[in-house]
Structure 1
Amino acid sequence: MYVRHLGLRDFRSWAHVDLELEPGATVLGGPNGYGKTNLVEALWYSSTLGSHRVANDAPLIRSGADRAVISTIVVNEGRELAVDLEIAAGRANKVRLNRSPVRHGREVVGVLRAVLFAPEDLALVRGDPSERRRYLDELASIRRPRIAGVRADYAQVLRQRTALLKSGSGALYRGDRSVLDTLDVWDAQLALHGSELMAARIDLVNALAPEVEKAYQLLAPGTRTAAVVYRPKLELFAADANPTTADLQEALLAELGRRRNAELERGVCLVGPHRDELELRLGDRPVKGFASHGESWSMALALRLASYELLTSEGAEPVLLLDDVFAELDTARRRALAGVAASAEQVLITAAVPDDVPADWVARHIRINVTEGDDGRVSELIGTTT
């Protein structure tokens, strides 16, 4: 799989660009702040329908514009697929596949399979559990595109149920018992979609765990064994259990019933996969709070390398996106990452300093510049060398 074309309109610092890409390695070069990462971010958005840098879409639209457009042409086993994403300010985004509108944006998830390495990856190890849940859910959706719909359905149920819980306590105080019947309905929906999401995560972690162990040993040979464990907030299951979707649905319903009073008192949803954790371990200790800076970086890289190896082993080698990541690594970790990236069908690297890229790589180099426009800095391509 590789991206043949990337087109942007009013995306971040890019007013307009049409970039023809090829298999192999491409280095996007230029000083910091020139728009290199914005190109990688656009490709990641095309893959996952989300940014790795911001939680909402508003910052993606160039200052002064009311929409941004990302257009990609992906080649997979000789077949070309075109994805066009229109990101609108204050309106629903529009999505086209092969120039035809699709009903739900999630229908294009999986067209471009990508694995992104970025400085923000350290948050996978040191950040909140939500960072690790997002990592799992994005990878699960790329691996099994149907999961993107499960995620969307669960998120909608969670919003509706949370809104009901916020108003439910007052309704009960006024004697309106109908809120309990409505909660029963939302409990059933949360258990239905939540169990599917949890089952997908558990299946993913079971497949991912040996790849994480191997990747960490590649990055830090002879050190402690790395492990990943999915920790559902359900007391009925041990960490090493392998429950079915039906088991999880039943357990969620039971836990929702047990914690209903607490949820009504607090006005928040205390049960469901949005509260679960992906635990990272080195030897017999959790990584968070105990690992050194170098160990934390190795674990973050191991998670991304494991993603790449898992997707590749399942028959869909992803595009590798390396966003200024070599600058963060020591020589040994650079060498290990470069060894994996060198064999990828397509890899795109951003680098502010040419020396950050392995000297023995055969790569196409694209230089980026900026000019000052009426609406701030505008990025532009200034040359390509091989």
Structure 2
Amino acid sequence: MRVAHLSLGDFRNYASAELGLSAGPNLLIGQNGQGKTNLVEAIAYFATLRSHRVSGDAALIRAGRSSAIARMRVRAGEREVRLELQLNQGSANRAQVNGNAVRPREVTRWFSAVTFAPEDLIIVRGEPSGRRRFLDDALLARHPVASGALSDYEKVVRQRTSLLKSARGRGQSALATLPVWDDQLVDHGTQIMLARRELLRDLSEPLRDHYAALVGGDHAPRVSMFESVGDARQSASVSRETPSDADLIREADVSRETLAREFREALAMVRGREIERGVTLVGPHRDDLALALNGLPVKGFASHGESWSFALSLKLALAELLRNESTAGDPVIILDDVFAELDGTRRGRLMRAVADYEQVIVTAAVEADVPDDVAWRRTRISAGALEPDRTEETSESTDGV
């Protein structure tokens, strides 16, 4: 899979922009603040329906405008598809596939990308919300249909929490509809928990392999889940910091019925506290991803270089998983200003790890930061103007959407 052409209107700093891209390595070069990251942000948005830089869409719309348009032409083998997204201020976003109106989340079925960016350090050093975001984005990339379960679950949590807050001090009669919300919470939440467990099981081996390749040694990287359901039931029998492969396999193989029963038991155990506090206390929205190196938590114990290598290895493991499972070809690899964060050795190792993907898109402020033994197709960005290197320009660069 690869992006052949990107067209923007009123997106970030671009009144309009046309970017042609080729198979293989593409380099977007320009000083900070010129707009190169805005281009890859738009591309990545088609894969996740959200920015990797900000939490909402408002910042993506050019100042003073009510909407932004992003169009992209994607090729997978001999097939080509035209995708379009319209981001709107104060109203629902719109989408098209090959000129036909669809729900925005349908676009993610047609495009897959894995983005590496400086913001990824929050996966290992930030708050649980950043790690949950990584998990959910990974689930969407692996199973686009998961967007329905994730969206429905978020709505149930909001409605259920609103009920709990409104019922405080009003007696049990105010909670008459709570069992209905419990059923929906368990139904959608169980789907998400099982999908997350399967994801961690399948990421475990490629994570170890990619970390060893990046750092040149085996530091025993491990991933597992802190689950609020298990915490409420006080049923964890092993340390969640150092899970074995057998632990991950066993958790992923638990039946949906068993997990649903455990979920209901956890809800019953925290019922009093939920009513008192007006908060939904258990479920995927309260869970956290546990990351460890050599049996110690990455957060608080790993060095800056180790933290970066762990975050990159997680993304590389995800890219490998998507590549192995997809019938549409490789995910597009986006490296947004990543090489500036790495030493020369890790730069070379990272580039070798992604070199055989069908398309790699790299942004850099300083050309010396990127490996020089790569046949880059360069586009230079200055003050929102795109200038392809004419000696490298292909017909795709002028072929519009």
Report TM bin, short chain.
Answer: over 0.9
Partner of 2:200: 205
Query: Does the CA contact (< 8 Å) of 1:136 and 1:201 recur in 2?
Result: yes
The question of 1:309 aligning with 2:314 is answered no
Query: Does the CA contact (< 8 Å) of 1:32 and 1:352 recur in 2?
Result: yes
RMSD: 1.3
What are the residue-to-residue correspondences of 1:262-301 with 2, within 5 Å?
A: 262-301=273-312
Whole-Å separation in 2 of the counterparts to 1:82 and 1:246: 41
The question of 1:5 aligning with 2:5 is answered yes
What are the residue-to-residue correspondences of 1:1-386 with 2, within 5 Å?
A: 1-102=1-102, 104-172=103-171, 177-233=172-228, 234=230, 235=233, 236=235, 238=237, 240=247, 241-242=250-251, 243-315=254-326, 316-370=329-383, 379-385=384-390, 386=392
The residue type paired with residue 193 of structure 2 is M
The residue type paired with residue 354 of structure 1 is E
Q: TM (normalized to structure 1)? A: 0.94
Whole-Å separation in 1 of the counterparts to 2:375 and 2:161: 53
CA shift, 1:382, in A, is 2.8
After superposing the two structures, state which structure 1 stretch, 347-356 or 231-240, moved more: 231-240
What CA deviation, in whole Å up to 9, does each residue of 1:146-197 have, x standing for no partner? 111111111111111111111111432xxxx333221111011000000001
Partner of 1:375: none
Q: How many residue pairs get matched?
A: 373
Query: Does the CA contact (< 8 Å) of 1:133 and 1:276 recur in 2?
Result: yes
Partner of 2:243: none
- Secondary structure of residue in 2 paired with 1:63: coil
The residue type paired with residue 58 of structure 1 is A
Whole-Å separation in 2 of the counterparts to 1:113 and 1:329: 25
The residue type paired with residue 317 of structure 1 is D
After superposing the two structures, state which structure 1 stretch, 220-229 or 56-65, moved more: 220-229
CA shift, 1:365, in A, is 0.6
Q: TM (normalized to structure 2)? A: 0.90
Query: Does the CA contact (< 8 Å) of 1:109 and 1:148 recur in 2?
Result: no
- Secondary structure of residue in 2 paired with 1:360: coil
Whole-Å separation in 1 of the counterparts to 2:47 and 2:218: 34
The residue type paired with residue 202 of structure 2 is A
Amino-acid identity (%): 47
Consecutive unaligned residues in structure 1, runs of 5 or more: 371-378
Query: Does the CA contact (< 8 Å) of 1:110 and 1:143 recur in 2?
Result: no
The residue type paired with residue 306 of structure 1 is A
Whole-Å separation in 1 of the counterparts to 2:79 and 2:138: 23
After superposing the two structures, state which structure 1 stretch, 230-239 or 197-206, moved more: 230-239
Q: 1:272 to 1:380 in 2, by over 3 A?
A: same
The residue type paired with residue 383 of structure 1 is P
Whole-Å separation in 1 of the counterparts to 2:204 and 2:339: 25
What CA deviation, in whole Å up to 9, does each residue of 1:71-119 have, x standing for no partner? 11111121112211110011111111111111x3212213111010101
> Relative contact order (alpha carbons < 8 A, sep ≥ 6): 1 or 2 greater?
2
Query: Does the CA contact (< 8 Å) of 1:110 and 1:141 recur in 2?
Result: no
Partner of 2:397: none
